[in-house]
Structure 1
């Protein structure tokens, strides 16, 4: 199997929902939510890509970084790569339903594990979304991280207990889902959380607690105050609020404020290993990938997911060689060109 075949098969499987464009920049699918696009004008989706593209790299070739290592550690788990699968759900109305929710997330979690990294799972208005993720994590011996929507406190804690029972490596909440109208329409209200409510959730489990959807310095500092183990700098793939900046645009300031106090992940617009390098250089400890892995799953199952992750990791290694980075810890702001 090769990527050309995967993309060709995915284009057929995703027909009417994702065009599998040569450049996945959100232009063709603007406003297609449900679907694979960005909300409204699609500006937030595109801003993720333009923010990444705005950074140039310092090429360095006089050094000894000839065979760089992408190995890293997350909550005590050794991984071969800092690139991880973002939580994604909604195969029937976002991706066309050619693959069931359970099969899709199983491909994501299994393919990620085969690539030496870890897959995150999601939550949604249909109970099968969270259920499927938990089942996939159990099937892989607990090798996965479930993320829960910002529901009422008791509903979140109940899902945390299920994550614990599944042997999950961590658990979290995507606070950027606070405005999801579809959840309310299905009788499952979501909304913002106070710092006190967040503290209650953090204290409700011994698992590392991740807060996904941080886009400002003040909320990053509030997350640290609440005791979370990690944050994800993310605008929910541009699918929640129109005209937000790209994740790479706000990441440096957030990292300057909380780096070392909390693990920092970033996602949004990641298409290559070079994009991964940029986010790591801007302050992330790990990077989440979404849409490219949808193509991998629909076009090649777990093997397709692994293929996409392996390709990105190979690109990351090549970029590390050409920027003088022997390990993930060597990737820092000196990689970024400043005029």
Structure 2
């Protein structure tokens, strides 16, 4: 990964420093770009809170080759990891590669690695168009996320997404805080339970599943379950829409406890290595989404870079499972977390 990161640092200059530790400090306030909004407290809280979770090391057991595979939303994955929906290469990542090259690397690299990539949405149209093309080229193996647009744009993009052959659709309702889109004449806004229920009913009518991203409280997790969502993502949008939120791992246990067994629970925010994946699983997640590190791998090494990053991540997860006595994903429980 060293060459991939060095290449990404060169191509993303002025937009991302590809820091040794991606913690939001050097890029605070750089939105657009890869930073966090305002003071970047939300971005930094994601990283520091997760780093503060400690693991119980156990080595008196027979676990030497743990099974990282998992079934999620009808998918069989090599590990409980998804690439988060991130787009806008020209204004967020420096434009060193094209939007088409970038998202093909994410979607294709995830498929090669036995996991699944999500695609983003926004302005200009090339963001969602490239994402949909990549999913189509990958035989529907991808998850398109659509922003909570006002007016007919939401329904139009859902219809377009359906033509990719995908079986899962997502909405990053946390993008409702992107005021720049309203300033560009393309407003996004929060959605009422009734609005979400109507959207989800339509997706279910197609035989698809629906993920609602941007849940940070137990009451909204319960609302998501009530309106029929198949999964939620505990997420503060990478700290890019509201300053001073808690880190996602801080709210994950309470959110998961509220809806466990009713829908799939995903989480993003500060996940950097396999040990971080293990922590999130132990605290209630069924799978994790990873954003910035996948973007760096895609810009710096395209499809091969994504494959290399995910291979390294899987190796780290296996190592962490061995060192905590976790034979498979189902056995990753709060017992692996140190509560001293």
Q: Bin the TM-score by the shorter chain.
A: over 0.9
Q: 1:111 aligns with which of 105, 109, 112?
A: 109
Match in the other structure for 2:9? 11
Name the residue aligned to 1:336: 337
Q: Where does residue 230 of structure 2 map in the other structure?
A: 229
Which of 199, 205, 219 in structure 2 is aligned with 1:201?
Answer: 199
Residue 269 of structure 1 aligns to a residue in which SS? coil
Determine whether 1:271 maps to 2:264: no
- Give CA deviations for 1:196-242 in whole Å, capped at 9, x if unaligned: 01101101112101000000011001100110000000000000000
Q: CA deviation at 1:64?
A: 1.8
* 1:171-197: CA deviation from partner (whole Å, max 9, x where unpaired): 010010002112112221100111001
Contact (CA 8 Å) 2:146, 2:154: kept in 1 or not? Answer: yes
What runs of 5+ residues in structure 2 fail to find an aligned partner? none
Matched with 1:248 is 249
- How far has the Cα of 1:153 moved from its partner? 5.6
Distance 1:179 1:85 in 2: 22
How many residues align? The count is 337
Give 1:51 deviation, angstroms.
1.1
Q: Following the alignment from structure 2 to structure 1, what is the Cα–Cα distance between the partners of residues 275 and 300?
A: 23
Give TM-score, length-normalised by structure 1.
Answer: 0.98
Task: Please give the alpha-carbon distance, in whole angstroms, between the structure 1 residues aligned to 2:230 and 2:151.
Answer: 19
SS state at 1:178 partner: helix
Tell me which residue corresponds to 2:184.
186
Distance in 2 of aligned mates of 1:332 and 1:120: 26
Q: Which stretches of structure 1, 4 residues or longer, exceed 4 Å deviation after superposition?
A: none
CA distance in 1, matches of 2:72, 2:155: 23
- SS across alignment from 1:244: coil
- Deviation per CA, 1:81-139: give whole Å up to 9, x if none: 11110000111111111111111111100011111100000100211111111000001
Separation (CA, whole Å) in 1 of partners of 2:158 and 2:202: 8
CA contact (8 A) 1:125 1:182 kept: no
Residue of structure 1 in register with 2:19 after alignment: 21
CA distance in 2, matches of 1:260, 1:102: 37
Task: Measure, in 2, the Cα distance between the counterparts of 1:239 and 1:331.
Answer: 30
Map 1:108-187 onto structure 2 (within 5 A): 108-152=106-150, 154-187=152-185
Give the aligned partner of residue 323 of structure 1: 324
Alpha-carbon distance between aligned partners in 1 of 2:47 and 2:173, rounded to the nearest angstrom:
22
- CA distance 1:61–1:130, change in 2 (3 Å): same
What is the TM-score when the length of structure 2 is the normalising length?
0.97
Instruction: Provide the rounded CA distance (Å) in 1 between the counterparts of 2:221 and 2:178.
Output: 21
Q: Does 1:220 align with 2:218?
A: no
Q: Which residue of 1 aligns with 2:311?
A: 310
Is the 2:59–2:324 Cα contact (8 Å) retained in structure 1?
yes
Task: Output one character per residue of 1:26-51: Cα deviation in whole Å (capped at 9) or x when no partner.
Answer: 11000000011000001000000111
| Alpha-carbon distance, 1:263 to partner | 0.2
Q: Report if aligned partners of 1:29, 1:37 keep a CA contact under 8 Å in 2.
A: yes
Three-state SS of the structure 1 residue aligned to 2:265 is strand
Question: Structure 1, residues 298-338: CA drift from partner, whole Å, max 9, x if none?
Answer: 11110001111111111001000011111111111111111
**Which sections of structure 1, spanning at least 5 residues, go unmatched?**
none
1:93-108 alignment runs, 5 A limit: 93-108=91-106
Q: How far apart, CA to CA, are the structure 2 residues paired with 1:285 and 1:126? A: 33
Deviation of the 1:62 alpha carbon: 1.4
Shift of 1:155: 2.1
- Structure-2 separation of matches of 1:240 and 1:96: 20
Aligned to 1:46: 44
CA distance in 2, matches of 1:129, 1:64: 47
The whole-number CA distance in structure 1 between the counterparts of 2:55 and 2:83 is: 25
